[in-house]
Structure 1
Amino acid sequence: MFLDMVLRRNPKLIETAFYLHQKGLIDPDTYLLDLDVIMKNAENIKKEADKYNIKLYFMTKQIGRNPYISKELMYLGYEGAVAVDFKEAEILYESGVKLSHVGHLVQIPSNKIEYIISKKPEVITVYSIEKAREISNVANKFGIKQNIMLRVIDKDDILYPSQYGGFLLDNLIESAIKINELPNINIYGLTSFPCFLYSKETNNIKKTKNVDTLIKAKDLLEKNLNIKIQQMNMPSATCVASIKKIWENGGTHGEPGHALTGTTPLHAVKDEVEIPAIVYVSEISHNLKNQCFCYGGGYYRRSNIKNALVGKSVEKMNKLKVETMSMENIDYYFALLGNAPIGDTVIFSYRTQIFITRSNVAVVQGIQSNNPKIIGIYDSLGRYIRG
């Protein structure tokens, strides 16, 4: 999906991937992250956000909850992390990363609420009155009033499968009245997902109907209940190209994830400010008939993989087509059309969510100055393996 973009816009990343694998410094089934380019992307996103006074929570699931990169983002002045689930919250906090937004997309389990609140998140998203009540009860133990965001949904909003939940717009006032009665809760903001998506028709990022729902919800709460909504959180496709759109629609916060590695769907088709900064590295295991097979482990079903580079170096590489992966089987191998020498490096670049894979993650500095240094190798959930 991004292979041609990486070849053209970040060729040194490709060169480094061949070098590190052929030298045995990284294993097959490893995502290679170009730290310097990621930080430059992050800097550009923040610079644009500052122009419009948009605050940024960084999303780490796409890069395997990586704690090293998370800390570097904190040094740049990002507000903190948005933890997509409670497990991500735990590993980020234990690694010294500030938790800013927890509970979206995954609600906090009942027995984890005390742990999360003890870490002082700026805001927690809730989908139900019952979860708000649990949070209020725990907040009472700490003697605090916890800021929460309501996830609001309306008919015809976009909701991805396995992500359903939230307050129906038609029932919002009734729900908010009950939540507002809880003693240790402050209705601080509203959120939804996805608020912005890439459009093939316009070849750009456009808002979804979810944004209109948030605007209606804000109006309802402020006019009917005199609740001051201080955060309008509008995640998805947060990048330089979408920051102004967030501001134009009354948003206050964005949550860059794929933009940090230059891998939103927009970045696959246009040269945006962000530069691609991630590749997946494997190795030819064997040949059979007119196919060769490389080690898997990093497949993501929405990856849109088309091609791979195979060889021992940029000078000695071929581009091979990738067989469509089966949705029914474990990705023990990727199948490529054509034969290749066993031990050759295989390089992919595609849309991924590293935290759902079994891959390693190599964070590498100095790629652009021709002096690559492995900062650390981590597992797909952000745990340090080795230097």
Structure 2
Amino acid sequence: MFLDVLRRRNPRFVEAAIALHQAGKIPANSYVLDLDATEANARVIATEAKRLGLQTFAMTKQVGRNSGFCQAVKRGGIDRAVAVDLACAVACDRAGLPVGHLGHLVQIPRFEAAMAARDLKPDYWTVFSHEKAEEAARASKDVGRTQQLLARIQSEGDIFYRGHEGGFEAQDIVAVADMLDGLDGASFAGITSFPALLFDRETRKIKPTPNLATLGKAAEMLARAGRNDIAINAPGTTSTVTLAALAEAGATQVEPGNGLHGTTPLHALEDLPELPAVLYLTEVSHLHGKNAFAFGGGLYIDPVFPDYDVKAIVSREPTTAEAALRSVEIPPPLAIDYYAMIDAVSQQAPRPGDSVVFGFRGQAFVTRAYSVGVSGISRGEPKVETIENIFGEPESWPNLR
């Protein structure tokens, strides 16, 4: 869905990725990042968020917590990360993007709370239960800190992805706040839920979820109890064009992820301020029958849209031309994506070693792909800055530096 947007709005990025791959600078099975565009995207989001009085944390999981990406985001004016899990927090901290929000969506394991409190020192730490709050407080007390806690809340009718459920009853939020304030080593700082916004397939628009209303009602209960100055963390499908609606709904914290690289669902349908800044690059391995087989490893397409005809650019020359587009079959989600199958029935069949470029909404952190940061594309001087695994750790490629 995003390949057409890439070809039209950031063609130099596609061409640079192919050229670098053919020069032996980028490995197959890589999420490639346009660091110039990322910095510009972060700047436009940060500027609008600041105008609206919103605190911004960057989500980096979708692009493998790449250190070059983290630094580009920071240069763009977003100086804190939200970590989807502890591995994400460690990677962002190592990359120089301190952890602003920890524990949401994934809670911190009991025996790793001490490391989180000691080494990461997050600004905010989300807890789903009394037990998790006690663990965070105890770990923080042991290192002489008082940790600000966000209470994840939920109410009947709220929407959660299966496997994301959890949190305190929203109707009990005043008592929950008192309980968190009573912990030695912690204090109540605010409330959170996810998702606050979602893409609606029928209307093809971004809409608020019941969760956002739940946050608003809980904030009203807290205000009546004298708690007015609280954080209201409202992540989900965040980009520049959604910030005003979130601020109007009472949010004080936002967490752009796909918006930073121009791959929220709305980016596939409308030209938003953020440019597409990520693509997936691999190469043709071999031909068999009517297909060319391309190396997989990162072929996870986040299913925000119904199934569609997947296409890729297949070429050895830097191009975004329509003639280079090929239909591609990727393995179903239940299978291991060793290869993708490219239609090879044509007068000019793909050749082993051809570059293959996809544009889709990915989740690099659940794959075995590499992440590659490229600078200088906006100046016509593309240069590979980082080649890393999904934990944001450098990979050593002798021929690629």
Q: TM-score range by the shorter chain?
A: over 0.9
Specify the alignment match of 1:366 in structure 2. 376
CA RMSD of the aligned region, Å?
1.8
CA displacement, residues 316-362 of structure 1 (integer Å, 9 cap, x when unaligned): 85211122522221100011222422221111010101111111111
Q: Deviations over 1:192-237 (max 9, x none)?
A: 111012234443322111100111111223324x334521111011
Q: Partner letter of residue 316 of structure 2?
A: K
Answer whether contact 2:79 2:97 (CA < 8 A) is retained. Answer: no
The answer to whether the aligner puts 1:240 opposite 2:272 as a matched pair is no
C-alpha separation between the residues in 2 aligned to 1:267 and 1:299?
20
Q: For residue 184 of structure 1, what is the aligned residue in structure 2?
A: 185
- What TM-score, normalized to structure 2? 0.91
DSSP-derived class of the 2:189 partner: strand
**AA paired with 2:341?**
A
Distance 1:72 1:278 in 2: 13
Which residue pairs with 2:352 in the alignment? 342
1:270-349 map, 5 Å? 270-302=270-302, 306-313=310-317, 314=319, 318-338=324-344, 339-349=349-359
How many Å separate the matches in 2 of 1:96 and 1:194? 27
Separation in 2 of the partners of 1:184 and 1:86? 20
CA contact (8 A) 1:31 1:278 kept: yes
Find out whether 1:197 has 2:198 as its counterpart: yes
Distance in 1 between residues matched to 2:145 and 2:329, nearest whole Å:
55
Matches of 2:200 and 2:259, distance apart in 1: 16
Dislocated runs of 4+, deviation >4 Å: none
Q: 2:85 corresponds to which residue?
A: 85
CA distance in 1, matches of 2:79, 2:26: 32
Give the equivalent residue in structure 2 for 1:70: 70
Return closer, same or farther for 1:25/1:262 CA change in 2, 3 Å cut-off: same
Deviation at 1:162, TM superposition (A): 1.8
Q: Secondary structure at the match of 1:346?
A: strand
Q: How far is 1:95 from its partner?
A: 3.2
Q: How does 1:21-36 map to 2 (within 5 A)?
A: 21-36=21-36
- CA distance, structure 1, for counterparts of residue 238 and residue 127 of structure 2: 22
| Percentage of identical aligned residues | 36
Tell me whether 1:357 sits opposite 2:367 in the alignment. yes
User: Letter of the aligned partner of 1:108 in structure 2?
Assistant: I
Is 1:379 the equivalent of 2:389?
yes
Residues of 1 paired with 2:198 and 2:211: CA distance?
11
Aligned 8 A contact 2:7 2:320 in 1 = no
Partner SS state of residue 180, structure 2: helix
Structure 1 unaligned blocks of 5 or more? none
Contact 1:205-1:266 at 8 Å conserved across structures: yes
CA contact (8 A) 1:285 1:292 kept: yes
CA distance in 2 between counterparts of 1:121 and 1:137 reads: 15
Distance in 2 between residues matched to 1:183 and 1:219, nearest whole Å: 26
- Of 179-188 and 234-243, more deviation after overlay is shown by 179-188
Give the direction of change, closer, same or farther, for the CA distance of 1:39–1:135 in structure 2 (3 Å limit): same
Matches within 5 A, 1:101-112: 101-112=101-112
- CA distance in 2 between partners of 1:170 and 1:248 (Å): 22
Deviation at 1:173, TM superposition (A): 4.2
Secondary structure class of the residue paired with 1:368: helix
The number of aligned residues is 386
- Distance in 2, matches of 1:202 and 1:111, equals 45
- State the SS of the aligned residue for 2:324: strand
> Which amino acid letter does the alignment assign opposite residue 331 of structure 2?
M
Partner of 1:55: 55
Is the Cα–Cα contact under 8 Å of residues 218 and 229 in structure 1 kept in the other structure? no
**Displacement of 1:146:** 1.2
1:369 and 1:90 mapped to 2: Cα distance? 32
What's the offset of the Cα at 1:67? 1.9
- Which AA in structure 1 matches 2:243? I
Q: Deviations over 1:111-138 (max 9, x none)?
A: 1212212232111000001111122222
Look up the SS of the partner of 1:279 in the other structure: strand
1:207 and 1:315, CA in 2 relative to 1: closer, same or farther beyond 3 A?
Answer: closer
Q: Deviations over 1:99-118 (max 9, x none)?
A: 11000001111112122122
Give the SS at the match of 1:287: strand
Where does residue 6 of structure 1 map in the other structure? Answer: 6
CA pair 102-8 structure 1, distance change in 2 beyond 3 A: same
1:307 CA drift (Å): 0.7
